[in-house]
Structure 1
Amino acid sequence: MEKIFTALFCTDDQKVEYATYMLVDAADDWWYYARELLHQELGEGVPITWGRFKQAFLDRFFSQEFQEARARQFDELVQGTMTVKRYAAIFVELSHFASYLIPNEVKKAAKFERGLHPRIQSCLIPLRIRNFTDLVTRATLVEEDMRANAELSNKKKLNDGVPIT
Structure 2
Amino acid sequence: MPTQAPLQAPIVQPQTLARQYDKLIKYGTTEFKGTVDPLEAEQWLEGMDRVFKKLHCTEELKFKYSVSLLQEDAYAWWKTIPYSLVEPPVLSWDNFLREFRQKYVPDAYVDQKLQEFLSLKQDSKTVAEYEREFSRLSHYAGSLLSTSREKCKRFETGLKPSLRMQVVGFRHNNFSELISQALELERIESEVTPVKEKIEKIEKLEKEKSRKAVDQSSSGATGKKKNFGGTSRDRGRGQGSTSGSQGTVNQKEQGSASVRVYIMRHGKKLKLLTLWPVHSLSLIKMYLYCLIQVLPTPMLVLALLVSLLFRVSKWVLRC
User: Is the radius of gyration larger for structure 1 or structure 2?
Assistant: 2
More helix by share: 1
> Residues of 2 paired with 1:53 and 1:107: CA distance?
31
1:113 is matched with which residue?
156
Q: Give 2:180's aligned amino acid.
A: T
2:187 paired with 1:144? yes
> Residues of 1 paired with 2:190 and 2:151: CA distance?
26
**How far off is 1:38 after superposition?**
6.0
2:145 paired with 1:96? no
> Residues of 2 paired with 1:142 and 1:15: CA distance?
45
> Residues of 2 paired with 1:53 and 1:141: CA distance?
44
> Residues of 1 paired with 2:73 and 2:138: CA distance?
22
1:43 is matched with which residue?
none
**How far off is 1:100 after superposition?**
2.0
Greater relative contact order (Cα < 8 A, sep 6+)? 1
Give aligned pairs, total: 143
Q: Please report the TM-score for the alignment, with normalisation by the length of structure 2.
A: 0.36
2:165 is matched with which residue?
122
**How far off is 1:92 after superposition?**
0.9
- Could you tell me which of 55, 58, 63 is aligned with 2:106? 63
- 1:98-153 C-alpha deviation (Å, 9 max, x unpaired): 22211121111110111111110111012221222221121111111111111233
Q: Please report the TM-score for the alignment, with normalisation by the length of structure 1.
A: 0.64
Q: What residue ranges of structure 2 are gaps of 5+ in the alignment?
A: 1-45, 79-83, 206-319
Q: What residue ranges of structure 1 are gaps of 5+ in the alignment?
A: 40-46
SS of the residue corresponding to residue 173 of structure 2 reads coil
**How far off is 1:61 after superposition?**
2.2
SS of the residue corresponding to residue 72 of structure 1 reads helix
1:134 is matched with which residue?
177
Change (3 A) 1:101 1:89: same
